[in-house]
Structures are given as C-alpha cells and as structure tokens.
Amino acid sequence: MKYFIAIVFIFTLLGSNAQDIHFSQYFYSPLTLNPAHTGKVDADWRFVNNFRNQWKSLSIPYRTIGVSYEHQWYIYSEQLSYGINIINDKSGPIGLTVNKLFLTLAYHKKIEQSQWHAGIQAGMVFKNFSLNDITFPNQFDMTTGYFNSQLNNNETNLVNHTNYPDINIGIAWDKPMQYFHPEIGLSVFHLIMPKETYTDQNYHIAMRYALYGGLFTPIKQFYFKPQVFNMRQRKATDLIIGSELGYQFKNNKAFLQRIFTGIFFRNDFSTSFDASIVMIGLQIKQWQFGFSYDINTSSLSQATQRRGAFELSVIYTSKSTIPKKITIPCDRM
C-alpha cells in the first residue's frame, strides 16, 4: 500500500488537478480561507499560526505550516486592513516542498446593519522536489534487476523546481442580529491561472472556488455555530459540514474566556465520508488554542488504521484601541 501511494503521488506531481493546500480548521485560518477576512476582527492586529500533519502512519507525511499577520488601517472613516500570509508545505516520498508568500489587502464597509468585506491577495509560489528520490524506466538495471538512481534517466525536459506569481480574491458578508449572527463568503484562488509545470508541457492551474457560511447562535453563556464549507477545483471537490459548540465565561479570575468543541464531516464525493473531524479548544485572554484530529474513513482507512491528520491553531488577537462611540463635546446652555 505504501508503494502504491508513492507511485500515485509521483504521477499526481507531474500533471494533476488535485486540490490546493487547506486546513480542516479552515475557519481558524482566515487568510487561507478568504482575503476578505484580512482584519475582519475587533482588534488592532491579529497573529495566526496553523500546523497540520497528515498520514504519518504511512511514512510519507504531509506537513503544512501557515503563518499570517493582519493590521487595521484607517483612512478617514474608511476601514482597510493589510497583512501577510506565509505557507510552507512538505509532502510525499520525494519531498515536494511548497512555499507561498502573499501580501493581502481588504476593505470593510458597514451598510445599515450589514457588514461587507472584500479582499485581494498577491504574491509568489515556489515549488521544488528531489530528483534523487525518483527512479524512471530508463534507470532499470538489467544486470541487477533493480532500479538504479545513478543511471541517466534520459528526461531532458524535466526540472525539479518551478515558481510563479498568483492572485486570490474574495468577498464576505455578515450581519449581527438579536438572536443570530449569520455570515457567508466566497473566495476565488488562482485568478490569473498561473502556469505550473516541471516539464515542457503548458499546464495552468485551474481556478479554485470556496463557498462557506456559518450561523453564530448565542444561548445565554453558550453558543452554537453550525458551519458548511464547499471547495471546487476542476473535478476535485471538498465538502465540510458540522458545528462548533462553546461556553463563554464571565468574570473568570483565571482569565479563561471560553472553551469550545466541535465535530465536522468531510465528503469528497468519492466515498460516503472521507473523514470525521473532532475539535477542542480554549481561549485565555487574547490567546486562542484549537486542536483537531481527522479520523480517516476513506478507502485508505485500512492502511492508515483510521489515523488521518492532526491540526493545531494558535491565534493571538490584540485589544482594539478604536473607539466604538464618538461623543462631540458642547458647552452647556
């Protein structure tokens, strides 16, 4: 099974339309979810760190690290936000390494009770892998009956690296109500469909669409937030549906603000459910920690013994120094 997955991975690398890097805790990775979420927070600035480790049981782990920083920016009464988003991903037996560096800008506007958000990301993507860990048909040694990576592979058009510019855009809407706080967003990635190839083929990355929504429902000190996320890229599809349940503390001397848990289900439409995702977390003052685990229920579950991926999210949200109300002083009559 391990060798089969490695072979599939190599063919996927040389020409595929598989999905991009993404997190199960997509809602706690705002800048990889939607550029419009840049600065979409009641704070002067926010720092986010995400870590994901997948398929370690198969000895070909996929490891992803995401780091982002956002800061508010006001021009007169208009609210903008800027930030930076960095992704490092390493996967598979040939060490495919992906580094992404994006600058992001968002505009926020309140119209009556609705809050509208629009954002754009622009940056560079760098990819490389190790040719020394791949063997080709021309490297089969007839004298030994084994593949020999020291022999010439005769692949004259193959390179082990590529880089290209990329642009992502997105919009989002939310509206605080008396009993509910709905939100919805749409993001489009690879807007310019950049060329990505390790050969002389003219392969372009297809645009990826992410549509998601949530409904925050407070019940006294509890809250309930059902969420749904759907992502499409050519024939690849990912659907995550589930809910978060939390409890918010009041006047806690230990500075514990809230605790939360959640359960989500992923469906890639090739099986009934690809994975079940369980999550727990807590918030201490401005720090939030979230831990989730993907229980593999796909066709690989026998090889992985249902062990999928674990994720850790760490978020620090500063306090806001922007006054919520403005009073105009006047002389008494």
Reported as a single tens digit per residue, the pLDDT across 59-110 is: 667 899 999 999 999 998 899 999 999 999 998 777 789 999 999 999 999 9
Rounded to two decimals, what is the model's pTM? 0.84
Higher model confidence: residue 44 or residue 272?
Answer: 44
- For residues 151 and 139, the answer to whether their CB atoms sit within 8 Å is yes
Q: What is the number of domains present in the chain? A: 1
Tokens of 224: 């309930």
Residue 102 belongs to some domain of the structure: yes
Beta strands 307-317; 45-54: pairing state: antiparallel
Q: DSSP for 162-214?
A: EEEEEEEEEEEEE---SS-EEEEEEEEE-TT--B--SSSS--BPPPEEEEEEE
Nearest-angstrom CA–CA distance, 87 and 126: 10
Average pLDDT over residues 222-249: 94
Tell me which residue range forms the domain holding 269.
2-129+161-317
Residue 252 belongs to some domain of the structure: yes
Residue 149 belongs to some domain of the structure: no
Average pLDDT over residues 170-177: 96
Residue 146 belongs to some domain of the structure: no
Beta strands 181-189; 161-174: pairing state: antiparallel
Average per-residue pLDDT for the chain: 84
Residue 140 belongs to some domain of the structure: no
Confidence bin at 54 (pLDDT 50/70/90): confident
Residue 113 belongs to some domain of the structure: yes
Nearest-angstrom CA–CA distance, 45 and 257: 19
Window from 17-26, 171-180, 273-282 with minimum mean pLDDT: 17-26
Residue 72 belongs to some domain of the structure: yes
Average pLDDT over residues 143-154: 70
- For residues 83 and 104, the answer to whether their CB atoms sit within 8 Å is yes
Higher model confidence: residue 143 or residue 184?
Answer: 184
Residue 333 belongs to some domain of the structure: no
Q: What is the pLDDT of residue 1?
A: 38
CA distances from 10 to 22, 131, 247 (A): 20, 11, 46
Domain of residue 185, CATH code: 2.40.160.40
- The predicted-structure confidence for 283-314, as pLDDT tens digits, reads as follows 999 999 999 999 987 555 454 555 678 999 99
- For residues 268 and 274, the answer to whether their CB atoms sit within 8 Å is yes
